[in-house]
């Protein structure tokens, strides 16, 4: 299926794990893909396996590097029609008052500043053209307490507020914005936490989980969102196990009742 032919995607965090699966899924369906991350060898390997792709070393917390990513993508592949903000870290595990404060903040910064800078860089072009889509990879850690990983959870929750606020700004300009949870995936990032001393001490249940999902599920969902068929769900937080056809059919109900979003409810 080549239903994304003509689309140009930027995928940050695209060198490994869920980001890599997303880049591969988009490329398999015909999109040109700019694969961005900090580790050059990884993004080059991903790009080399796709039919039309470039590898762009990028630290998403640095505005000048994000700007260069978008500029190079436009020059070599064409104007970006899709941004997938997938860069993230999980460096601080343990009590919030212990450990490295910079590591705690980095878990927030890479997720939130990274998504913001990337969206800020692609949106002028998308708004001018009256079309585009942004998908932010988040986690159910955004929706439930995450003791011993408060930096990670805070960053993921902030992403949900960012995307639903942004959706309200750009919907009438032809741009749709989504957050996606890939579920529990045993990526290298997660395995590093499981094996770490802090992970063994504070999150022993993580390594015992038997409900791991394949990263390809996230790739499939993002590719479906890229087609535009779910644009009526802009601003919503979707999970890879959701029935997208059902959600699209219920889009009016979901919007009317403000479902699939981060909300404070008193009853």
Active site residues per annotation: 152
Q: Is 261 left (phi over 0), alpha (psi -120 to 50) or beta?
A: beta
Closest CA to 22 of 168, 197, 171, 226: 226
Q: What's the CA gap between 95 and 78, in Å, rounded?
A: 46
Q: What is the distance between the alpha carbons of residues 220 and 26, in angstroms, rounded to a whole number?
A: 8
Structure tokens at 46: 């991903």
What is the Cα–Cα distance from 3 to 167, expressed in whole angstroms?
A: 24
Locate 229 and state its tokens: 């068929």
| Cβ-based neighbours of 34, under 8 Å, separated by 6 or more | 8, 9, 10, 11, 53, 54, 56, 69, 72, 73, 76, 77, 80
| Contact present, 80 and 70 (Cβ < 8 Å) | yes
Distance in Å from the first CA to the final CA of the chain: 45
């Amino acid at each position: 299926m080549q239903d994304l032919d003509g689309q140009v995607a930027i995928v940050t965090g695209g060198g490994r794990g869920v980001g890599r699966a997303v880049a591969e899924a988009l490329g398999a369906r015909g999109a040109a893909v700019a694969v961005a991350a900090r580790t050059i060898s990884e993004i080059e390997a991903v790009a080399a396996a796709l039919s039309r792709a470039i590898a762009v070393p990028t630290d998403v917390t640095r505005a000048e590097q994000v700007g260069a990513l978008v500029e190079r993508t436009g020059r070599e592949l064409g104007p970006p029609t899709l941004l997938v903000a997938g860069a993230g870290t999980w460096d601080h595990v343990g009590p919030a008052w212990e450990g490295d404060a910079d590591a705690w903040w980095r878990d927030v910064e890479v997720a939130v500043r990274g998504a913001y800078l990337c969206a800020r860089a692609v949106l002028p072009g998308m708004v001018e053209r009256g079309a585009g889509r942004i998908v932010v990879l988040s986690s159910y850690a955004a929706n439930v307490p995450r003791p011993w990983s408060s930096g990670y959870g805070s960053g993921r929750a902030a992403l949900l507020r960012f995307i639903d606020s942004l959706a309200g700004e750009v919907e009438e300009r032809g741009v749709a914005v989504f957050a996606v949870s890939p579920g529990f995936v045993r990526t290298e990032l997660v395995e590093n936490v499981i094996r770490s001393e802090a992970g063994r001490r504070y999150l022993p249940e993580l390594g015992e989980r038997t409900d791991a999902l394949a990263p390809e599920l996230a790739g499939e969902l993002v590719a479906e969102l890229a087609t535009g068929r779910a644009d009526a769900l802009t601003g919503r937080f979707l999970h890879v196990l959701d029935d997208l056809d059902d959600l699209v059919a219920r889009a009016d109900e979901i919007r009317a009742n403000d479902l699939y979003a981060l909300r404070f409810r008193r009853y």
